[in-house]
Structure 1
Amino acid sequence: MTTFNMEFDFSSAEQRAILDQVQREGYSLIAYKGATGPNQLACGVPAWFSVPFHSMFGLVTIDYQPQYKLYVSSRTSIAVNTTIQMQSLSDALSLGSAQTFNSNGSFVSGGVASVPPDSLGLFNNRPAGTPPITVGLACLVNTPMGTNYLPFCAFTLNSQSSIVMRPLESILLVASPQRLTSGSVQANVSAPGCTFSFNAGTVEYDLQVMPRTYAITNLPGTPSVNPVSSGSPIGLIVNGGN
């Protein structure tokens, strides 16, 4: 299975000086990851991971493989700055498969027919008339904070209904003074950042933090990233507006 890598090298004098600044100012590296599907939250996108720069030094590698779990939260009143709690989490799943979620919080195989090979399906088997649930995908990622399945998208799903969700390999990175945790829903980019996409031909991005603005860009001569301005809508960037 392909491993996708994001690397920062804080070994040079310039990058060490910048790292010292963002550490003193309490900045974190915050990432968002794309997905598509019906009834996606209109208020924003959950942060995938948030790593304080205090946890970084030297060569820092953040990597992940396209391994996913389904999550369910009973909370449906979700606004900006709400943190999504994954109350129930499925086993790791292969793309192209589906699960059924039951009232007791368990998952069983099947429930959605003809799931595309790049997607995952979920059927909400709670009794008709029960409140909608918030569902989504969690991706396994390795950061200086540890290796965990963390949520990166969120959708509303009614009882006795199904959904098909497709993860995207579009990534948004921001060096931000916000103190966010994984699952914290945000609408707009809080600081200058960058966006890029992984594919079969590009599995690693070598990145650097710029002085003064703390914007993130690629190292010269490495695969390029696209700059993102503070205030840009996160959902439009990572999900293509879906």
Structure 2
Amino acid sequence: MTTFAMNFDFNSAPEMEVLEQLQKQGYYLLGFKGAEGPNQLTAGVPTWFSVPFGDIFGKVAIEYTPKYKLYVTTQRDIAANTTIEMEKTSGELSLGSAQTFNPSGGFVSGGVTGVPADSLGLFNNRPAGTPPLTVGLAGLVATPQGDKYLPFCAFTLNPQGSIVMKPLDNILLVAAQRSLKSGNVQASVSAPGCTFAFSASAIKYELQVLPSTYAISNRPGAASVNPVSSGSTIGTIINSPR
């Protein structure tokens, strides 16, 4: 299975100076990842990962492996700046498969037929009349804080209903003065950032943080990224196939 990488190198004097300013001013590297499916959360997109620049120095690789778990939470009416807590998570799943979430809080295999090979299915087996669940996908990402499955999308799922969720390899990165936790829902980009898409021909992005604006761009000669302005709507940026 391919592992995709987002690489930074803060070893040169100019980049060490940028990093020092990011650390002094309390900046975080924020990552968001796309997904498709019905009844997606309208308030925004969960922050996938959040890494303080104080934890970063020298060469840094943030690596993403396309491995997923399903998560479920009873949180409802989720607004922007709410942090989604994954109350229950499945085991690691292969794309093209499905799980059933039972009233006792456990997952069992199956429950949704015809799941495409690039998606995951979930059936909510709680009794009719019980409140809807918030469900989604957690993706495996390696940061300076360790390897973790972290949530990157959220959908509403009614009892006795099913859903098919498709992870997208669209990524948004932002350097911002926001001490967000993974799962914190954000509606718009809080600082200049960049988007790019992983693929078989683009498995690694060599990135840099620009001085003064702290926007993120590709290093000269490396795979190019698309600049994103502060205030842009996150959902429309990352939840569209490319």
- TM-score normalised according to structure 1 size: 0.99
Partner in structure 1 of residue 74 of structure 2: 74
Deviation (angstroms), 1:64: 1.4
**What 5-or-longer segments of structure 2 have no aligned partner?**
none
AA at the equivalent of 1:163: I
Q: Deviations over 1:191-232 (max 9, x none)?
A: 000000000001000000000000000001010000000000
AA at the equivalent of 2:129: G
AA at the equivalent of 1:144: P
Deviation (angstroms), 1:33: 0.1
Q: Deviations over 1:17-45 (max 9, x none)?
A: 00000000000000000000000001100
Partner in structure 1 of residue 113 of structure 2: 113
Measure, in 2, the Cα distance between the counterparts of 1:140 and 1:149. 4
AA at the equivalent of 2:43: C
**What 5-or-longer segments of structure 1 have no aligned partner?**
none
AA at the equivalent of 2:84: I
Partner in structure 2 of residue 92 of structure 1: 92
Measure, in 1, the Cα distance between the counterparts of 2:172 and 2:213. 17
| Count of aligned positions | 241
Q: How does 1:181-200 map to 2 (within 5 A)?
A: 181-200=181-200
Partner in structure 2 of residue 220 of structure 1: 220
AA at the equivalent of 1:75: Q
AA at the equivalent of 2:48: W
Measure, in 2, the Cα distance between the counterparts of 1:145 and 1:81. 22
Measure, in 2, the Cα distance between the counterparts of 1:65 and 1:75. 28
Q: Deviations over 1:177-202 (max 9, x none)?
A: 01100000000000000000000001
Measure, in 1, the Cα distance between the counterparts of 2:83 and 2:232. 20
Partner in structure 2 of residue 176 of structure 1: 176
Instruction: Report runs of 4+ in structure 1 exceeding 3 Å deviation.
Output: none
Partner in structure 2 of residue 20 of structure 1: 20
Q: Deviations over 1:63-88 (max 9, x none)?
A: 01100000000011200000000000
Partner in structure 2 of residue 46 of structure 1: 46
Measure, in 1, the Cα distance between the counterparts of 2:26 and 2:104. 41
Deviation (angstroms), 1:103: 1.1
Partner in structure 1 of residue 167 of structure 2: 167
Partner in structure 2 of residue 2 of structure 1: 2
AA at the equivalent of 2:210: M
Deviation (angstroms), 1:240: 2.0
AA at the equivalent of 2:194: C
Measure, in 1, the Cα distance between the counterparts of 2:180 and 2:19. 19
Partner in structure 1 of residue 136 of structure 2: 136
Partner in structure 1 of residue 124 of structure 2: 124
Partner in structure 2 of residue 83 of structure 1: 83
Q: Deviations over 1:64-115 (max 9, x none)?
A: 1100000000011200000000000000000000000011110000000000
- Aligned to 1:17, what secondary structure does the other structure show? helix
AA at the equivalent of 1:98: A
Partner in structure 1 of residue 33 of structure 2: 33
AA at the equivalent of 1:2: T
Measure, in 2, the Cα distance between the counterparts of 1:93 and 1:225. 30
